[in-house]
Structures are given as C-alpha cells and as structure tokens.
Structure 1
Amino acid sequence: MGSEDQREDNISVSVFLSLLKDRTAENMDKSTMTTVTVTTEVPPRRKTEDDSVLCASSSAHILEETEYVRKIRTTLEKIRNHMFKDEAGQGHANSKQDAELEASREAGAAALRNVAQRLFDNYQTHSEDMKKRHEESKHLLQINNLEKEQMLKQRTENLSQLSEKLEEKHVQIIGLENRVQRMENGPVEKLKAHIR
C-alpha cells in the first residue's frame, strides 16, 4: 500500500511539475512571478494491531517523504532560479528594447527637426523671393507712374502753350477784323465827311 501511495504521489508531483513548467513558460512572456506552495496530504492512519511494524515502516516512510520533499524543494528552487534568470534576461532584453526605442525616438525626432528646418528654409526662401518680386513690381509701378505724370505735365504744358497761341491768334484775328472793318468804313466815313 505504501508503494502505491508513493507512485500516486510521484505521478501527481510529475503532473504538477509539468503543469508548473507549462505555466512558467506562459508566464515568462507576461513577466510575472509565480509562487508555488506544495502541500502533501497525509491520509489519517488506521490503527492496526502491530504498532511496532507500523512504527518502523512509518519512520522509513517519513525518511522517504523527507527525501521526496527535499527533491521537490530542489526542483522548485531550480525552477525559481530559472524564472529569475529568465526575468533578468527579459529585463536585459527590455532595457535593450528601451534603448532601441529611445534611439528610434531620437532618430524620429531628428528627422522631424530636419524636415521642419528644410520646410522653414523653403518658406524663408519663398518669402524672400515673394518680397523681392513685390519690391520689383512696386518699383516698376512707381517708375510707370512717374513716366505718366511727366507725360501728363508735358501734355498740360503743350496744351497751355497751344491755348496761349490760340489766344494770340484770336487777338490777331480780332485786330485784323477791326482793321478790315475800319478799312471798309474808312472811305465811307471820309466820303460822308466830305459830303457834309
């Protein structure tokens, strides 16, 4: 009966350890620590007639159980150490990933700064070109306005000179008309004066 109990315990512990390994593999990805507590239920003993035989067999059984518990503790310690190593390795991998992520962020920020600088330079160049064109256009308009003002002044002067000449011609025409009228009236007046 003792060997059957021991086999059942061995089977249940091996199943437990395989489940523990599976869970450990799953939990390594999640970066969590699992604490395992192993308890062994000892079925209550029935009183038999031969307690001395039981005492000898129970001390042997206790030694077996003690050795078994030591093995389990050793196995659990190995598993725990393995988990800590994996977590430490994962921590190193995480720090490496963090460093890569930081480097990637810095490279992205540098690229954005570069693009922003190029855009600003393009904007400044375009703005300066537009200002230059505007100044040139403004200068051309001013020159054009000055030319038109000078032409207008010249035409105004020409018009005023022409007006003066016309006035002179008008005065001359009036003078000539008066002379012609006097000439026409002059002999008639002289005749009238003679006749009187």
Structure 2
Amino acid sequence: MTTLLLTEQITREDHGSEGNYVLYGSSRSQITEEAEYVKKQVPQVSGNKAESKSGWSWGCSPVATTMKETEEQLLVVSRENQVLKLKLEATREAGVQALRSASQKLYENYQTQSEEMKKKHEREKQQIQACNLQEEEKLQESTENVSRLAEGIREKCTRIAEMEKRVQRMEEEKKILIEKKMSLEKMLQQMTSRNEDSKRCLDLQQQISTLQEQISHLQHVIRAQHHGLRG
C-alpha cells in the first residue's frame, strides 16, 4: 500500500500590539508534485475498466480520499492566507494612519510653538522699540536743554563782556572828569590867592560842582555795574 505523507506546519508570529502575522507551510506546487507522484505509483487502468486488480474503486481509493482532503486543506490554508493578508493590510493601514496622526500632531505642536515664539519675539521687539523711542526722546530733550543752556551762557558772556566794556569806559570817563576837576580846583586856588575876579571864581566853582556831581553819578553807576557782574 502506498502511503502519502503530508506535512503541514503553520507558524504565526506576533510582533507588537497591532499583530503582524506570517504563515509558513507547504506550497501549492509542493502539494501538486506529491499528488503527481502518488498517481504514478497507482496502477494504470485501461479501456473501460473502472476498478483496479485489488477490486478498489479509484473514486473510493485512499489516495483519492487523501487528495481530496489535501485539496480541502489547501483551500483552508488559502482562506487563512487571505484572512491573514487582510489582517496584515489592515495592520499596515492602521500603522500608517497612526504615523500620519502622530506626524500631524507633531506638526500642529510645532506650528503652535512657532506662533508663540513669533508672538513673543514681536512683543519683545515692540518693547525694545518703545524703550529706544523713549531714550531717543530723552536724549533729544537733553540735547535741547544743553543747547538752550549753552545759548544762555553765550548770551550771558556777551552781556558780561558788554558790561565790562561799559564799566571800563565809565572808569576812563571818571578819570578824565577827576583830572578836569583837579585842574579847575587848582586854577580856582590860584585865582583866589591872586584876588582875581570873583565872578570868574564863581564860574569855576560851579564847574567844579558840576564835575563833582558827574563823578559821583559815574561812581554810583560803576558800583552798580560791578555788583551786577559779581551777581
């Protein structure tokens, strides 16, 4: 009796929570080759004979039964392969979808952080610009104050210079008046000693008195000018 040995081994590997399945087993071509081998070992029937020498029917023979079972097993294996293929495709699609979701979330987080950084940078930029503008205004005000102060100092120096020149002129004028007064006083003294015309002497006295008033006035003005300069 010819014995057909069929060996099947199905091994499933599970990787991760998603489940990636791989099926290992005899291929269809290997099963077909074994079936052909069995046919060659069975005696050939000739003409219209439907039974073998042993009296068994080919349709009822163990080989035919085994071949039928083998085909059924092949169909089961094929169906399982199709199911596993669908599961694998679903797992792959789920992985791709999860990767897309994670990438989208990362991109959204990046966009959010980028927008926050831009807003923060813009606020800092505005603060710096406001501080610069405030400092520029302070500097402009300080420059204007310094300019006004310098102008005031220049004007004051000019006034002081003019006052000094005026005092100098009054001092010179006072000196001339004093000399003229001294000359008239000397002349009056000489005329008095010679007993000259009293009218002439009276005129000299009036001139001396007028000069003394002018000298006193100049002295008062000069004193006031010096006080102003000291102030």
**TM-score, scaled relative to structure 2:** 0.60
Summarize the alignment of residues 50-69 of structure 1 with structure 2, pairs less than 5 Å apart: 62-64=53-55, 67=58
Q: Which deviations, in whole Å up to 9, do the C-alpha atoms of 1:11-35 show, x marking residues without a partner?
A: xx32xx22xx22x437961684222
Equivalent of residue 72 in structure 2, options 70, 81, 86: 81
Q: 1:172 to 1:186 in 2, by over 3 A?
A: same
Unpaired segments ≥5 residues, structure 2: 12-22, 44-49, 188-231
Tell me how far apart the structure 2 counterparts of residues 142 and 92 of structure 1 sit (CA, whole Å).
74
The 3-state SS of whatever aligns with 2:24 is: helix
Q: 1:69 to 1:188 in 2, by over 3 A?
A: same
The reply on whether 1:108 has 2:99 as its aligned counterpart is yes
CA distance in 1, matches of 2:105, 2:146: 61
Q: Distance in 2 between matches of 1:176 and 1:153?
A: 34
| C-alpha RMSD of matched pairs (Å) | 3.1
The Cα shift of 1:149 comes to 0.4
**Alpha-carbon separation, structure 2, partners of 1:33 and 1:147:** 93
Q: Quick one: higher RCO (CA 8 Å, sep 6+), 1 or 2?
A: 1
Secondary structure of the 1:25 match is: coil
1:118 aligns with 2:112: no
Offset of residue 113 of structure 1: 0.3
Could you tell me which runs of 5 or more consecutive residues in structure 1 were left unpaired when the two chains were aligned. Answer: 1-9, 43-58
- Higher Rg of the two aligned structures: 2
Letter in 2 for 1:169: I
Residues 134-186 of structure 1, C-alpha deviations (whole Å, 9 max, x = no match): 11111111111111101110111121012101101110111111211232244
Q: CA deviation at 1:104?
A: 2.3
Report runs of 4+ in structure 1 exceeding 4 Å deviation. Answer: 63-69, 189-195
| Alignment partner of 1:137 is 2:137 | no
Per the TM alignment, residue 103 of structure 1 is displaced from its structure 2 partner at its CA by: 1.5
Residues 135, 60 of structure 1: CA spacing in aligned structure 2 closer, same or farther, 3 A cutoff?
closer
Which of 133, 141, 144 pairs up with 1:150?
141
Please give the secondary structure, in 2, of the residue aligned with 1:29: coil
Q: CA separation of 1:65/1:147 partners in 2, compared to 1, >3 Å: closer, same or farther?
A: same
Structure 1 position 29 matched with structure 2 position 13: no
TM-score, normalising length: structure 1: 0.70
> Whole-Å Cα distance in 2 between the matches of residues 163 and 30 of structure 1?
111
CA distance in 2, matches of 1:137, 1:85: 77
Superposition pairs of residues 171-186 of structure 1, within 5 angstroms: 171-186=162-177
Count of aligned pairs: 163
The letter for the 2-side match of 1:29 is Y
CA contact (8 A) 2:52 2:58 kept: no
Please give the alpha-carbon distance, in whole angstroms, between the structure 2 residues aligned to 1:26 and 1:100. 20
The share of aligned pairs that are identical, in percent, is 9
Change (3 A) 1:187 1:68: same
